[in-house]
Amino acid sequence: MPLSARKFLKSVSGSFAPLLAILLIPMVAALGFSIDYTSAVSTRASMQNALDAASLSITTLATDTSLADRQVKLQEAYLANGGQGTAKLDSFVVATDGAASIKASAGFAMPTNFMQIARINTVQVGVASAVTKRPALVQATFKVTKVSGWWGKTMTLYGTKFGDTVANKLMKITYTYNGYGDPKGYGTATVSTINGATITMVQQQVCTTTTVLSFYGLPSTTIIQTDSYGRKYVTTCVNTMYPATGAGAVIDVSQMDQLYLQMDVPSGNPTVLKSNDPATSNRLYANGVEIASGQTVDIFTLVPCGQTSTQAWEDGGSSVPTSPTITDSNADFFYTVTGKCAFNQRASETLLTQ
C-alpha cells in the first residue's frame, strides 16, 4: 500500500470525519427518499381502493339524489373505506337511455419524513376512478293472454323496497274456473294493480265454453277441445281493458330492491309456488323454456329492457319437469310482461372502467 494511503488511514487528526459526513448525506437522503416513495405508493393504492368503493356506492343512492348530496356521500364513503385527503365527484351523467357514467378523483398532500432534508415537506398523491352503470328495470307491465284449469288460483307480484325487509303486493291476477266441464277448463281472469290498500282492476278476460257438433267455420280465435268421448268444445275469450286503451298492469318497480312472483293454488300440490323458491321455481316458463330445477329466479333479469317476455306457470296439476319447452298441455297460466329500463339505484350492471 502506498505510504500516503497508510498515513491517511492512521491519521487521528479528525480530518476524515467531515468527509465521511459529507459522503453519508446523499446516501441517507437516497434511503429516505426511497422510504417516502414506498409510503406514497402504499398510500396511493389504499386511496384508489377507497375511491373505487366510494364511486360504486353512490350509484346505489336513490335516483332523485342531488349531485351535492352524492358529493357528500362520496366523501363519507371514501373516508370510511380508509381513503386520505378529499374525494371529488367530477361528473355524474345519466344518458337518455338510462346509462350512468360517473367520474371521481381524490387528492392528498402526504407528509414526508426524510424528504424534508431536501425541503420537500409533502408529496401530492392523486387517484381517479370511473364507473359505468347500465340501465335497470324500472317498470314492468303484466297482461294476461290465457288462463285455464279447473282450479282457482292467484298470481301476485311482490316487491321489497330499498332499505325495507317486508315485501308488499304490487299486482295480482286472480282466476276463477267457469265450471263448464270441458277437458282443459277455462274461466275468468282479473288483473289488478295494488297500491297499499287500493286495488285497481286493469284487465279482465272472460272465457265462455259451449258444446258443438262440428268445428267447421269457427273463427281462428276460438279454443277447440275434444274429450275422450269425442265431445267437442269451443271456448271464446273476451278481453276488456280498463281503461279501454290500457296496456295492462303497469307497475313502477324503480324503488324495489327485490321482486318475486307467487302463485297460490289452494287445490294444488304444492299450494304455493314462488319464483324465488328453488323448490317451486321450475314450474315457471320464461320465453317458452322451463326454469331449471333448483334455481332462484331474479325477476329483474327475467324481464328484458324494452321487450316483451312470454311467461307461464304450471299450476301443480302435472309433475315437473314436464318438457323443456312450453305447450298448452303442460302450463295453465299464460301472460306477457314488458320491461322498461332507466337509471336505477340497484347495484347490478355496475362496472369500474378506470
> Which amino acid would we find at residue 148?
S
**What whole-number distance in Å separates Cα of residue 149 and Cα of residue 131?**
49
Q: Give the list of residues 6+ apart from residue 18 with CB closer than 8 angstroms, or none.
A: none
Question: What does pTM read for this prediction?
Answer: 0.78
Q: Give the list of residues 6+ apart from residue 329 with CB closer than 8 angstroms, or none.
A: none
Task: Encode the chain (354 residues) as per-residue pLDDT tens digits.
Answer: 555 555 555 555 555 556 545 555 565 555 556 776 777 788 899 999 999 999 999 998 988 899 999 999 999 999 999 999 999 999 999 998 888 999 999 999 888 776 666 677 788 889 999 999 888 899 999 999 999 999 999 999 999 998 899 999 999 999 999 999 899 899 999 999 999 999 999 999 999 999 998 888 888 888 999 998 999 999 999 999 999 999 999 999 998 999 999 999 999 889 999 999 999 999 999 988 888 889 999 888 888 888 999 999 988 777 766 566 666 667 889 999 999 999 888 877 777 776
3-state secondary structure 328-353: CCCCCEEEEEEEEEECCCCCCCEEEC
Angle 67-80/16-57 helices, nearest 10 degrees? 130
Angle at CA of residue 272, ends 319 and 303, nearest 5°: 85
Q: How many CA atoms lie within 13 A of 176 on its CB side?
A: 6
Provide DSSP, 300-312: HHHS-BTSEEEEE
What is the maximal distance between C-alpha atoms in the chain? 134
Neighbouring CB atoms inside 10 A of 342's CB total: 19
Q: For the chain, which residues make up each domain, given as ranges?
A: 18-133, 137-181+188-206+248-342
